[in-house]
A = this chain, B = another copy of it.
Amino acid sequence: MLVGKILRSPHGHARIVKIDTSKAEALPGVKAVLTGAEAAKYAKPFGPHFKMDYALKHDKARYWGDEVAAVAAIDEDTAEEALRLIEVEYEVLPVVLDPEEAIKPGAPLVHDDVENNIGFESHLRVGDIEKGFQEADLILKDKFYTSTQQHVPLETWGCVVNWDQITDKLTMWKSTQSVFYDRIGMAAALGLPETKVRVIMTATGGGFGNKTDGVNATDLVAAILSKKTGRPVSLITERWEHVAASRVRHAMVREIEMGFKKDGTITAHRERDYINTGAYPGMGPMVNILTPIFARGPYKTENEWIDCSMVYTNRSNAGAFRGFGGPQSAFAREQMLDMAAEKLGIDPYDIRMRNLVHPEDCPYVNAQGMKINSCGVEQCLEEAAKELGYHEKRENKRKNRGVGLALMFQWTSVRDRPETDADFSSVYLKMNEDGTATVYSQSCDMGNGVYTAIAQVVAEELGIEYEDVSIVTADTETTPACLGNWGSRGALTAGNSAWRAAQEIKERLFGVAAAMLEVDKDNLEAKERRIYVKGSPLKGVAISEVATAAHFLSSMGEAGPIFATGWWASEADLPDENCCGNPCATYAYAANVVEVEVDPETGKVQVVEHVAAHDVGMAINPAIVDSQILGGMSQSIGYALMEDMQYEPGTGRLLNPTYLDYKILTALDMPDVNPILVEEPDPSPNNDLGVRGIGEGPMNCGAAAIANAIYDAVGVRMHSLPMTSEKILEAITQKQAQERS
Contact = CB atoms under 8 A, between A and B. Distances in A.
Interface stretch (A282-290, A404-412, A428-436, A578-586): A428-436
Contacts of A548: 420
Interface in A453-479: 468, 470, 472, 475, 477-478
B428 A552 contact: no
A180 to B, nearest CB: 10
Contact of A195 (B438, B440, B563): B438
A480 B472 CA distance: 13
B560 A195 contact: no
Contacts of A470: 169, 195, 477
A194 interface: yes
A569 interface: yes
A561 B420 contact: no
A563 B430 contact: no
B569 A560 contact: yes
Contact of A561 (B433, B477, B481, B553): B481
A280 interface: no
A565 B559 contact: no
Interface size class for chain A? 35 or more
Contacts of A553: 421
A194 B433 CA distance: 9
B481 A424 contact: no
A563 B420 contact: no
A202 to B, nearest CB: 15
Contact of A481 (B433, B436, B478): B433
Q: How many copies does the complex hold?
A: 2
A234 interface: no
A551 interface: yes
A556 to B, nearest CB: 10
A551 B420 contact: yes
A260 interface: no
A560 B426 contact: yes
A537 interface: no
Interface in A475-489: 475, 477-478, 480-481
Q: How would you classify the secondary structure of chain A's contact residues: helix, strand, loop or mixed?
A: mixed
Interface in A537-578: 548, 551-554, 559-561, 563, 565, 567, 569
B552 A559 contact: no
B480 A478 contact: no
A193 interface: yes
B195 A432 contact: yes
Nearest to A554: B569
A422 interface: yes
Nearest to A569: B559
A547 to B, nearest CB: 11
Nearest to A195: B436
Contacts of A565: 560-561, 563
B430 A552 contact: no
A472 B478 contact: yes
A542 to B, nearest CB: 13
A565 B431 CA distance: 13
A193 B469 CA distance: 12
Given A420-B433, A470-B477, A477-B438, A559 B567 contact: yes
Contacts of A195: 432, 434, 436, 438, 468, 470
Nearest to A558: B567
A559 B193 CA distance: 22
Contacts of A477: 438, 470, 472
B552 A420 contact: yes
Contacts of A478: 440, 472, 475, 478
A676 B567 CA distance: 49
Contacts of A468: 195
> Which of A193, A194, A436, A468 counts the most B-chain CB atoms under 10 A from its CB?
A193
Contacts of A430: 480
17 contacts: A193-B436, A194-B433, A195-B432, A195-B434, A195-B436, A195-B438, A195-B470, A420-B433, A422-B552, A424-B552, A424-B560, A426-B560, A438-B477, A475-B478, A554-B569, A559-B569, A560-B567
Interface of A: 169, 193-195, 420-422, 424, 426, 428, 430, 432-434, 436, 438, 440, 468, 470, 472, 475, 477-478, 480-481, 548, 551-554, 559-561, 563, 565, 567, 569
8 smallest beta-carbon distances between A and B, as pairs: A560-B567, A420-B552, A195-B436, A422-B552, A478-B478, A563-B565, A561-B565, A480-B561
Given A428-B428, A430-B480, A470-B477, 19 more contacts: A193-B436, A194-B432, A194-B433, A195-B432, A195-B434, A195-B468, A421-B553, A422-B552, A426-B560, A428-B563, A438-B477, A440-B478, A475-B478, A481-B551, A554-B569, A560-B565, A560-B567, A560-B569, A561-B567
